[in-house]
A and B are shown apart, each in its own frame.
Chain A
């Protein structure tokens, strides 16, 4: 079955890719399967300089999900381009670089750095990390700020830009429209929802950062609702994510309005999550009378 999807900068052999932050730079999962099987890989966030992240504990399990507050730990954009991108480029898959920052200048710096490699196919602009104290999230919660950073990154980059939206807003469609107006080539949604878990023996937050981003199956209905809402109001493609664990989940995201999907937390439970979904996708599509992935996308316009 034809699982291909064509998006700005991305000719995907299938619509499945690991989500940023849940797959590192692919090295660990390449010991489980051939990464060429993936539609694309979204790399862990890159910042201008190396970041060591937050104190531990950084994760906590919740009902049907988990909280994390890693704090954008990464070796810095230059080392990512020097060490990680060339290794990933050996695989027959598209590479999406996640661009993070705490100031407009930092976003632009990181964006420009990725112009220097020919192996990155698109950028995912991370304006929605809830786990860094300074900057970051305000770009993702104020439509004017989001517009500003999107326009600046678009101007600085020679690559298509997918803006990753935060669900921690009152009106996500308004955010989507703002970044579309600013020139975004696509959206990626949703990032994690801010949450907290207390440690009963101490009555204090279990995660050192106090709050963390909630991910996993628990947030899937929120992601579906938000993608469905946004799809009515913007026309640029959406990479959907939020609790996808099975091929049925992936189909539901496509039906709701996504054009491709990313798998995050499920990789931790099952390191083969992405390839298991890819393998199950054809029979799942057949079961619901679709002839291809593109068929799901084409036919939803009648429903959505």
Chain B
């Protein structure tokens, strides 16, 4: 049976503008989590839980590191948590990225945009344990929002793009695709307009995309976060996803 978890907050840190990294202790969840899954956190005083992406897990330590952007009252309240407090969490929710079909010796393109970067980092860490060459393209609004660049550089050939050009390349993630060279497949997570641009640009390449949407229950019951599929059906982002084959869904 699934359960709710009380997770102890170990640290809370602002790592970029409006961007909070929070380390939580929960060995059971840490052991189960695969890249691309998320936690559904209860913030007291708010009706709906917040789906929050996971940036790292350390199974040895029993920790899960989450990352979120302060956008409204709920995330503001969450950002004010102090070490020692506990968070009520459901999860790990969702399917996560499958990496079984990534061939040994292959070259993989990772594309993360804004708050879509954390799950891509978690994935990059896992892929770096395989014999795979990694190229990462990370997009942010501007210099103030950039995070995890150094961490990516340790394991991947890394390109940073800012919309306003205040850091790295200027423009959108797709603008650096001509520079990254050939790759076998790609993985991407970020805002919908970015995913649309990425999947259009790379329509002939195998790829997986991770989506975000406003959720109700977060477990697949309420039908709030659905997405149409190419076979004239639909998928639930929270439980069938959030990761889908780029060829399977209509963005």
Q: Verify B90–A22 contact, CB threshold 8 A.
A: no
Main secondary structure of the interface of B (DSSP, over half): loop
Residue on A nearest B233 in the bound complex, by CB? A52
A49 at the binding interface (Cβ < 8 Å): no
Q: Verify A56–B213 contact, CB threshold 8 A.
A: yes
Q: Verify A24–B47 contact, CB threshold 8 A.
A: no
Q: Verify A21–B222 contact, CB threshold 8 A.
A: yes
Stretch at the interface among A25-33, A90-98, A252-260: A25-33
Q: Type the 1/0 row for A50-90, where 1 means its CB is closer than 8 Å to any CB of B.
A: 00110011111110111010100100000000000000000
- Taking residues whose C-beta sits less than 8 angstroms from the other chain, chain B's interface range is 20 to 34
B216 at the binding interface (Cβ < 8 Å): yes
Residue on A nearest B225 in the bound complex, by CB? A56
CB neighbors of A among B157-200 (8 A): none
Number of A-B contacts (CB under 8 A): 96
Contacts of A265 in B (CB 8 A): 47
Residue on B nearest A62 in the bound complex, by CB? B47
Stretch at the interface among B1-9, B18-26, B96-104: B1-9
Query: How far does the alpha carbon of A122 sit from the alpha carbon of B151 in the complex, in Å?
Result: 58
Contacts of A64 in B (CB 8 A): 47
Q: Which of B42, B218, B222, B225 has the most CB of A within 10 A?
A: B222
Known contacts A216-B47, A265-B47, A269-B48; is A58 also within 8 Å of B214 by CB? yes
Query: How far does the alpha carbon of A64 sit from the alpha carbon of B2 in the complex, in Å?
Result: 26
Q: Type the 1/0 row for B213-228, where 1 means its CB is closer than 8 Å to any CB of A.
A: 1111111111111111
A9 at the binding interface (Cβ < 8 Å): no
Q: Verify A24–B216 contact, CB threshold 8 A.
A: no
Q: Type the 1/0 row for B200-219, where 1 means its CB is closer than 8 Å to any CB of A.
A: 00000000000001111111
B239 at the binding interface (Cβ < 8 Å): yes
Query: How far does the alpha carbon of A52 sit from the alpha carbon of B42 in the complex, in Å?
Result: 29
Q: Verify B49–A73 contact, CB threshold 8 A.
A: no
Contacts of B216 in A (CB 8 A): 58-59, 66, 68, 268
B81 at the binding interface (Cβ < 8 Å): no
Q: Type the 1/0 row for A1-35, where 1 means its CB is closer than 8 Å to any CB of B.
A: 00000000000000000000111100111011100
B148 at the binding interface (Cβ < 8 Å): no
Residue on A nearest B220 in the bound complex, by CB? A28
Binding site for A on B (CB under 8 A): 1-4, 42, 46-49, 74, 90, 213-228, 234, 239
- What are 26 of the A-B contact pairs (CB < 8 Å)? A21-B222, A22-B221, A28-B239, A31-B1, A53-B223, A53-B226, A56-B226, A56-B227, A57-B214, A58-B223, A59-B48, A61-B47, A61-B48, A62-B47, A64-B47, A68-B224, A70-B222, A70-B224, A265-B47, A267-B217, A268-B47, A268-B49, A268-B217, A268-B218, A271-B2, A272-B4
